Amino acid sequence: MAAGWQKGRAWCVFAQLLPRTALPLRAQKILRNPGWTLRRVPDSDTSDAALVGKAVANHKAHKRKPALANGDSLIAKRLENPYMHELKGWILMETSRSRDSLTPGLMRNLGLAYSRNGQNGPVLLSDAERHSRSGRLKDASIHAKRAVGLLPRGSTGWRRADDILHAAETKEKRNKRK
């Protein structure tokens, strides 16, 4: 994935944790070189901002185990926060362990976290992606169609749901030709 996307994803997680006044100062942990962050954030600092910064810095420095450990610490502190689960999933996906990050259990947990926050669009998208990865495109298209109706048009989630819909339609057309 492109570095810009990584910074954007990390920024979204980071922005959910901090008050707006703290963002510019603390965002340096994500936007700077990983060595800079790891030198300046002590291991004893277990604040949410420090853990996110260390998780992203360790990930960018190709230190998978510490990055995942920081992600696990965040999830343990904020179990119902979907952004913590998303951060860990992102690290797993980026470290070529996509089969671990995309397991139905994790996708289901992500959906539960979103539903507890009352975010039905991401819940439906998570369900659509889970069904799609399991090869059940018919079920995936049902959830994706609902997600498209709830997510902001043109947003990343909306585009992902729309992609699932198109994949399901393409598969259905191919099956009819046979």
Q: What is the pLDDT of residues 14-39, one digit of tens each?
A: 555 554 444 444 455 556 688 888 88
Q: What is the pLDDT of residues 77-130, one digit of tens each?
A: 988 888 888 888 878 877 755 454 456 666 777 777 888 888 899 989 988 888
Per-residue confidence (pLDDT) for residue 39, from 0 to 100 = 87
Per-residue confidence (pLDDT) for residue 161, from 0 to 100 = 92
Q: How far are the Cα atoms of 13, 32, 115, 163 from residue 16, in angstroms, in the given order?
A: 5, 19, 17, 27
Q: What is the pLDDT of residues 153-171, one digit of tens each?
A: 999 889 999 999 998 998 8
Name the band, by pLDDT with cuts 50, 70 and 90, for residue 3: very low
Report the interhelical angle of 104-116 vs 120-133 (nearest 10°): 170
Quote the pTM value: 0.47
Over residues 34-55, the mean pLDDT reads 86
What sign results for the dihedral spanned by CA atoms 80, 155, 67, 15? negative
- CA 39/CA 150 separation, integer angstroms: 43
165 CB burial (10 A radius; 0-12, 13-18, 19+): buried
Contact status, residue 106 vs residue 89, Cβ threshold 8 Å: yes
Both tokens of residue 23?
A: 């963002």
Strands (E), the chain: none
Per-residue confidence (pLDDT) for residue 147, from 0 to 100 = 94
